[in-house]
């Protein structure tokens, strides 16, 4: 039986932490579905197409069966069940991440007991990187020096064109 995992996020923008998680997921599962989740109540920093294009560039370099799907409604566990996934992959950088992800894992388990949540902790050099921090830095004088170290080249190029 094929082990299918889901790694979901808004990826706004994709970071090196996301890349690390995708690589690890590709090692763990026979197939990894990277779900680009759309939250219509949030103002996106990068367009859906920009994020999808960046994720496409990122997964192109990763060995293994990785595909990208856009999900704009419903529960992630319902999508996982529909595609035959048995696992949700989540990253935990710190205590607040753990508290949030533990709650979500319990809720998901109540909805779909057969779908398990796997937590991975990134290496220390990626702990402080988040899409929110990257978004907040873009545009501040000298932002390129720090952001370049936090995002893959395809994302940095797109961000550089904006400023």
Give the residue numbers marked as catalytic.
18, 42, 93, 131
DSSP conformational letter for 4: E
List C-alpha distances in Å: 128 to 15, 141, 149.
11, 20, 12
Pairing of strands 31-37, 4-9: parallel
Residue 23, CA atoms < 13 Å, CB-side half-sphere: 11
Q: Are 95 and 14 in contact (CB under 8 A)?
A: no
Please state, in angstroms and rounded to a whole number, the distance separating the CA atoms of residues 80 and 33.
9
């Amino acid at each position: 039986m094929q082990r299918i995992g889901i790694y979901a996020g808004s990826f706004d923008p994709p970071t090196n932490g996301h890349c690390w998680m995708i690589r690890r997921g590709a090692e763990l599962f026979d197939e990894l579905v990277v779900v680009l989740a759309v939250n219509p109540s949030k103002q996106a920093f990068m367009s859906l197409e920009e994020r999808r294009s960046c994720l496409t560039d990122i997964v192109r370099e990763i060995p293994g069966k990785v595909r990208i799907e856009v999900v704009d409604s419903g529960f992630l566990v319902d999508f996982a069940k529909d595609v035959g996934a048995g696992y949700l992959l989540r990253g935990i950088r710190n205590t607040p991440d753990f508290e949030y992800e533990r709650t979500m894992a319990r809720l998901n388990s109540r909805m779909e007991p057969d779908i398990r949540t796997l937590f991975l902790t990134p290496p220390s050099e990626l702990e402080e990187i988040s899409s929110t921090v990257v978004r907040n830095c873009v545009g501040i004088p000298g932002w390129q020096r720090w952001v370049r170290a936090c995002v893959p080249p395809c994302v940095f190029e797109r961000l550089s064109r904006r400023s």
